[in-house]
C-alpha cells in the first residue's frame, strides 16, 4: 500500500508588528546606517507590509544611506582626479572628505535611531528621496 502525502499547507500571511516591534525595527533601520545601506534595505523589504512606521522610517533611512553612498562615490572620483592632477599632493587633504561624510552619516543615523526609538518620525536634513 502506498501512503499519500498530504498537500503542503498554504503559507500564512505575516502577522502585523506590534507598536513596540514597529518602533524597534524602524529605529534599527536608522542605526543600521552606520554599516551602510544594506540594513535599511533589508529591514524595509522584510517589514514594509507589516508595520507602517517601519515602512516610513526604513524608506527614510534607505534614502539617506543611498545619498551617502552617492556622495562617497563622487568624492572618490574627485579625489582620484585631483590626486592625478596634483601628482599625489591632493592625498594629503583628500582623505578628510570621505571621513567627514562617514562621520556625518553616523551622527545623523544615531539621531534618527533615538527619534524612531521614541516613536517620532525622523527626517534627514540632506537626503535624495529616491524611494517614495
* The pLDDT value given to residue 4: 74
Compare 86 and 8 and report the one with higher pLDDT.
86
Cβ–Cβ under 8 Å, residues 52 and 17: no
pLDDT at residue 1 tops 60: no
Nearest in space to 65 (alpha carbons), one of 43, 49, 94: 43
> C-alpha cell of 13?
500571511
Q: Given pLDDT bands bounded at 50, 70 and 90, which one contains residue 91?
A: confident
pLDDT of residue 12: 65
Q: Which has more pLDDT, 10 or 94?
A: 94
Of residues 63, 75, 130, 126, the one with CA closest to residue 99:
75
Give the gyration radius of the chain's Cα atoms.
21
For residues 93 and 3, the model is more confident at 93
Q: Give the largest CA-CA distance in the chain.
A: 83
Domain ranges of the chain: 19-117
Mean pLDDT computed over 52-77: 95
Residue 89 pLDDT exceeds 60: yes
Residues 94-115 have pLDDT tens digits of 899 999 999 999 999 999 999 9
**3-class DSSP string for 85-108:** HCCCCCHHHHCHHHHHHHHHHHHH
Amino acid at each position: 500500500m502506498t501512503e499519500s502525502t498530504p498537500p503542503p499547507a498554504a503559507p500564512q500571511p505575516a502577522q502585523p508588528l506590534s507598536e513596540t516591534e514597529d518602533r524597534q525595527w524602524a529605529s534599527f533601520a536608522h542605526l543600521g546606517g552606520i554599516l551602510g545601506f544594506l540594513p535599511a534595505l533589508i529591514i524595509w523589504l522584510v517589514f514594509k507590509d507589516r508595520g507602517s512606521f517601519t515602512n516610513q522610517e526604513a524608506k527614510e533611512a534607505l534614502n539617506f544611506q543611498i545619498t551617502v553612498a552617492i556622495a562617497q562615490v563622487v568624492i572618490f572620483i574627485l579625489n582620484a582626479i585631483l590626486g592625478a592632477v596634483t601628482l599625489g599632493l591632493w592625498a594629503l587633504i583628500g582623505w578628510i572628505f570621505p571621513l567627514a561624510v562617514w562621520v556625518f552619516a553616523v551622527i545623523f543615523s544615531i539621531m534618527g535611531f533615538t527619534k524612531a526609538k521614541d516613536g517620532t518620525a525622523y527626517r534627514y536634513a540632506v537626503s535624495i528621496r529616491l524611494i517614495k
